Amino acid sequence: MKKLLLAVLALGCCSGISHAQGTTPTHSPASVGPHFKATAVDSAGSVIVKGTRIRYRAVAGTLVVHAKGWKRYAPATDPKNPTAEADMFYVAYFKRGVPAAERPITFLFNGGPGSSTVWLHMGAFGPVRVVTADHTQTPAAPYQLVSNQFSLLDASDLVFVDAPGTGFGRIAGPDANQQFYGVDQDVHAFATFIREFLSKYDRWNSPKYLIGESYGTMRAAALPLALEHQSIDLNGVVLLSDILNWDLMPDDPKLNPTVDLPYIVALPSYAATAWYHHRIPNQPQHLLPFLKQVEHFATHEYTLALMRGNSLSNAHRQAIAEKLHDYTGLSVRYLLKSNLRIEYGAFQKELLANEELTTGTLDTRFTGPTLNPLSEEASYDPQSAAISSAYVSAFNTYARATLHYDQSLNYRPEIPVYSSWDYRHQPPGASHPLIQLPNVLPDLAVAMKRDPLLKIMVNGGYFDISTPFYEGWFEMHHLQIPPSLQTNIQYHYYRTGHMIYVHVPALKALHHNIVQFIESTDNLK
């Protein structure tokens, strides 16, 4: 299941699962030179948001980022000076006719690790948006690109940033993979990119925001502290479908006994999915009161039962299984066989097993034919299969025909670095990177204490079982911050999945909420 989740998160949203089983890409001198140069291609456009036409300048280009420890003026022969480089691709949109100092600027990125930012760009907040089916398979090309009435250009200038080696960006130099493909290496690259961008476009005095999705929320949660160490304070951070502590992933209970929290925080998302597909006995009419019941059960009776392990009596085990059946629609027999612990991949396959259908991972509203009815777990994500081609095809067309970026390059929506990613992370206060699944909650907590005015916005989808919505709530309520700073965090949840914006009513609400967040924190009034 780790491989499946990796492929899911590698999209930061969505893509093919097979990539998670690949190897880290290499870049030969024949295809990538040892040194990069920044590029920039200008174009112009306009978009109508809330009835107002916004004219903008678009810049598609790259900035060069060096590995941590690089010294600009070190001798070329210095063996201690790392020479690995990343050519990071971005598309920036600047509203015309407005002084830069009076415009917020927002850096947006998807996750992975190993994903470009094509998903947020073409599905959510760019000036154009690809049209996909809401919860079913999107027909093959030609795909429809429309002016995006929900673009965030009404509130902020936008910079969509692709991770090193993705998009039109590349990496090169000795040990380049090791220098850029890891939790802390990635944060360093993005912090450097942001600093370089602020200088190149004279935006140091603009209100500054981050929007990260999926694994991008780990990056967004760690970046505030990294930027503060460079004397760059942020106005706000927006998290979409957050996963800040990887110990909360609901998979492989057989391989990690005693770690039961993932099954507790995932249960409300399983219940929401069962409610959506009408698999709940005595189906409740309303979702939200039902979820409150499930959350209470999960954090009380269910938690105590799991903590008892093998000492749980047969009668108590039976009672908990029956209650789980009432909330998830899974059979009591199956729940007893699974030892009351539900892996998300098994849930995908089991919920609609009688119809030989598999639910989505990123968005469980989506379903698709089960590939192997005899398998224990789902072997693909129906949502990824349903919409990935539309996003990638639409961006390739848009980048070449509208942004006029280099048509000789291949755009990489994702790269297979999950299995070789360096997951060690050195949180504040630690003397060295820790050998454990990464957890960036300490980074965010220290950043908020250093800057008590920093605001955080948490967003999640009820039908996301890759990063369950209650997991995000649980994480933020375990931040090591004083109670007064908890008021700096706001929460918004939507009747959609991981990619909140796939469902247009949710995109409309998300746009409204983020605009309000920016306008209330930009210090311009």
Q: Which value, to the nearest 10 degrees, does the dihedral of the CA atoms of residues 387, 250, 2, 477 take?
A: 90
Rg for the chain (alpha carbons), in Å? 23
pLDDT at res. 269: 98
- Residue 491 β-bridge partners: 458
pLDDT at res. 2: 44
Residues 72 and 192 in one domain: yes
Residues 71 and 131 in one domain: yes
H or E stretch including 322? helix 314-328
* Structure-token pair, residue 59: 């810049």
CA 298 to chain centre: 25
Residues 287 and 239 in one domain: no
CB-neighbour burial class of residue 313 (10 A; exposed 0-12, middle 13-18, buried 19+) = exposed
**pLDDT tens digits for range 7-53:** 444 444 443 322 222 333 334 333 333 579 999 999 999 999 999 99
Residue 514 lies in a domain: no
**Which of 383, 406, 436 is at the close of a domain?**
383
Average pLDDT over residues 434-438: 90
**Which of 363, 383, 403 is at the close of a domain?**
383
Residues 20 and 169 in one domain: yes
The Cα 255–Cα 403 span in angstroms is 48
CATH number for the domain that contains residue 223: 3.40.50.1820
Residues 374 and 424 in one domain: no
Average pLDDT over residues 416-436: 91
**pLDDT tens digits for range 468-487:** 999 999 999 999 999 999 99
Residue 397 or residue 74, greater confidence: 397
- Residue 57 β-bridge partners: 44, 94
Residue 507 lies in a domain: no
Residues 319 and 399 in one domain: no
The identity of residue 9, as a single letter, is L
> Which SS3 state, helix, strand or coil, does residue 62 take?
strand
The identity of residue 355, as a single letter, is E
The CA-atom distances, in angstroms, between 403 and each of 60, 192, 193, 244 are: 7, 25, 21, 34
**pLDDT tens digits for range 177-218:** 999 999 999 999 999 999 999 999 999 999 999 999 999 999
In the predicted structure, residue 226 carries a pLDDT above the cut 90: yes
Residue 271 lies in a domain: yes
Residue 517 lies in a domain: no
pLDDT at res. 4: 41
pLDDT at res. 23: 34
Containing domain of residue 356, as a range? 254-383
- Mean pLDDT computed over every residue of the chain: 91
**pLDDT tens digits for range 119-166:** 999 999 999 999 999 999 999 999 999 999 999 999 999 999 999 999
Residue 515 lies in a domain: no
The Cα 473–Cα 385 span in angstroms is 29
Residues 373 and 302 in one domain: yes
Residues 365 and 305 in one domain: yes
**Which of 329, 363, 383 is at the close of a domain?**
383
Average pLDDT over residues 370-388: 93
> Which SS3 state, helix, strand or coil, does residue 160 take?
strand
Q: Which 8-state DSSP code applies to residue 356?
A: T
Number of folded domains in the chain? 2
The Cα 478–Cα 451 span in angstroms is 18
DSSP notation for 402-467? TS---TTSPPBSB---GGG-B--B--TT-SS-BSSS-B-HHHHHHHHHHSTT-EEEEEEETT-SSS
**pLDDT tens digits for range 314-350:** 999 999 999 999 999 999 999 999 999 999 999 999 9
The CA-atom distances, in angstroms, between 59 and each of 90, 91, 159 are: 8, 6, 9
Residues 199 and 267 in one domain: no
Residue 432 lies in a domain: yes
Closest to 158 measured CA to CA, from 221, 213, 108, 89:
108
Residue 306 lies in a domain: yes
pLDDT at res. 253: 65
The identity of residue 292, as a single letter, is K
The CA-atom distances, in angstroms, between 353 and each of 180, 274, 324, 356, 399 are: 42, 13, 17, 5, 41
Q: What angle do helix axes 261-276 and 287-297 make, rounded to 10 degrees?
A: 160
- pTM of the predicted structure, to 2 decimals: 0.93
Residues 19 and 119 in one domain: yes
Residues 33 and 58 in one domain: yes
In the predicted structure, residue 509 carries a pLDDT above the cut 70: yes
Residues 224 and 89 in one domain: yes
Residue 236 lies in a domain: yes
**pLDDT tens digits for range 56-113:** 999 999 999 998 888 787 777 777 777 889 999 999 999 999 998 889 999 999 998 9
